[in-house]
Amino acid sequence: MAGRIKDIDVYNVSEKTPEKSSPWSSTMIIVRITTDDGFTGYGEAPTTLMTMPVFHSVKEVMRTFIGRNVLDITSNVLEFYKHSFYLSRSMEATSALSAVEIASWDIAGKMSSQPIYNMLGGKVRDQVRAYSNGWYSDCVSPDDFIEKAKGIKKKGYDAIKFDPFGNSFDRIERKSLDHAESVVRGLRDEFDFSMDLLIEFHGRFSFEAARMACQRLEPYGCFFYEEPLHPELEMRLPELRSQLMTPIALGERILNARDFMRHIVEGKVDIIQGDLTNSRGIMESFKIAAIADAWGVPVAYHNAFGPVQTAATLNLDMTINNFLIQESFEESWPDWKRKLLKSGYHIENGKFRLSGKPGLGIEIDQKSLESHMVEGMEPFDLESPPWVVSGTYIGEN
C-alpha cells in the first residue's frame, strides 16, 4: 500500500540579507513531506512580502493532508479546496497548497522510479530554452544595461528580461518614457536580433501610462510585454492588445485554471505565465497549459524564486506541447541558494537540462537547508518595492 503522509515540515530559509537579483525572494519557504514508509519529497512556496502568512498557511494545509495517501494528489487537493473558503482568491493559501502538492509529486515519482515528466506523458524535448532575469541589478543608464547584458550573452543566453521603467509607478513622465526607450534602443543596437528582449512592466501602470509605454517600445521588436497594466485593470487588456503588435504576457498573479481560462477566452493575453508555486502546483499548472494549448496560446512559466520551484517547472516544460521559453535567475543567485541542491538540473549556454532522476530530479542538501533556517519576515526597504531588482527603482535626473 502506498505511504500515508506522516509529517510535513516547513522551512523558512534565508541569509537575512536582501537579495540583489530578486529582493522578493530574499527568503524562501521550503516544504518537506515524509511518509510512514520513509519517502520524502520537497516543494516550494513564494514569499514576496508574505513570508510569515505563507509559512503559517502551510500548517493549515497540513491539517488536511496529514494521514492521507500521498498518491491521492487530486483528492487531497480537492479536500483542501473544500475546506479553504478563500482559496480561489488567497495567494497565501494557494501558495502553501502548491508547495505541498509539488512535494507530493516528488514522492510519487520516487515511488514509481520515474521523473515527474514521464508521469505526465513523457518528454517532448531534451532541453529547455531559458531567458535570464535578475542580471541587471544597479543598472540605471543604457550603458549600465548594455555592459551587464554582454556578460549574460557570453554565457550563452539569447534572451533577457528587464524592467527599464525606473521608479515610475501608475503614471509615467515623458522623460521616463525617453529613458526607457533609450535603454531598449541601446540593447537592440548592441545585439541586433541575436538577443530577444523581454520587457518587464511589473503590473505597475494605469491604462494610459501602459499604452504610452508599450507604443513607445513597439519599434524595437520586443519578445513580449509582461504585465503592462495593474492587475485590477485586466478588463482593459483586450483594448490594449488591439493597439499593439507585441504580445502581452501575464499570469504570475492568477491562481487557478478557471481564472486562466477566462483570461484566454476573453482575449486578454497572448502568452500565459502561470507560476507552479501559487497556482495549486503541478497538476493544476498542467491543466492550465492544456487549456492554453486548446486556444493556441503558448506558455512561459513564471519562475522567480528558488531551485525547487525551478525543478518542478522544468518537469512541465519538458512535457507540454505549447512551451515557449523559461525564466531563469540562476546566473544571479547568491551562493546560499545554489548550495541548497547537491544535484539536479543544470543550465549551460542558456539551456536547461534535467537529471532524469525520479521525482523532481533533484537532491536537496538537508544540512544546508537546516543551516539557513531563520525566523520572521523578509528584509524590507521602504524606498524600493520588493518586486523590483535592486538598485533599479531610481528616477532619471
Percent of the chain clearing pLDDT 70 (strictly above): 99
Distance from C-alpha of 160 to C-alpha of 157, rounded to nearest angstrom: 7
Domain identity same for 96 and 182: no
Domain identity same for 237 and 341: yes
Q: Residue 27: inside a domain, yes or no? A: yes
* Domain at 241, CATH number: 3.20.20.120
Domain identity same for 332 and 188: yes
Q: How confident is the model at residue 379 (pLDDT cuts 50, 70, 90)?
A: confident
Residue 261 CB neighbour total at 10 angstroms:
17
Domain identity same for 158 and 55: no
Domain identity same for 195 and 243: yes
Domain identity same for 86 and 169: no
Q: Residue 388: inside a domain, yes or no? A: no
Domain identity same for 96 and 166: no
pLDDT digits (tens, 9 = 90+) for 236-276: 999 999 999 999 999 999 999 999 999 999 999 999 999 99
Examine the pLDDT at 153 and tell me if it is beyond 80.
yes
Domain identity same for 141 and 253: yes
**For 3, which DSSP code?**
P
- Among the options 179, 230, 263, 302, which is catalytic? 302
Predicted pLDDT at 18:
77
- Among the options 202, 230, 263, 346, which is catalytic? 202
Provide the number of structural domains found in the chain: 2
Examine the pLDDT at 149 and tell me if it is beyond 60.
yes
pTM: 0.97
Q: Which three cell numbers stand for residue 223?
A: 519578445
Sign of CA dihedral 184, 187, 193, 199: negative
Distance from C-alpha of 161 to C-alpha of 328, rounded to nearest angstrom: 10
Domain identity same for 89 and 126: no
What's the mean pLDDT in 366-392?
A: 93
Q: Residue 20: inside a domain, yes or no? A: yes
Domain identity same for 23 and 157: no
* Domain at 53, CATH number: 3.30.390.10
Examine the pLDDT at 162 and tell me if it is beyond 60.
yes
Query: Which of 82, 113, 144 corresponds to the end of one domain?
Result: 113
Q: Residue 389: inside a domain, yes or no? A: no
Question: How far apart, in Å, are the Cα atoms of 355 and each of 66, 337, 344, 350?
Answer: 30, 18, 5, 16
Q: Residue 377: inside a domain, yes or no? A: no
- Which of 53, 29, 60 has the alpha carbon at shortest distance from 42? 29
Cβ-contact 358, 112 below 8 angstroms: yes
Domain identity same for 273 and 153: yes
- Which of 55, 40, 51 has the alpha carbon at shortest distance from 7? 40
Cα 1–364–125 angle (5° rounding)?
80
| Domain encompassing residue 34 | 5-113
Tell me whether residue 83 is one of the annotated catalytic residues: no
pLDDT digits (tens, 9 = 90+) for 291-345: 999 999 999 999 999 999 999 999 999 999 999 999 999 999 999 999 999 999 9
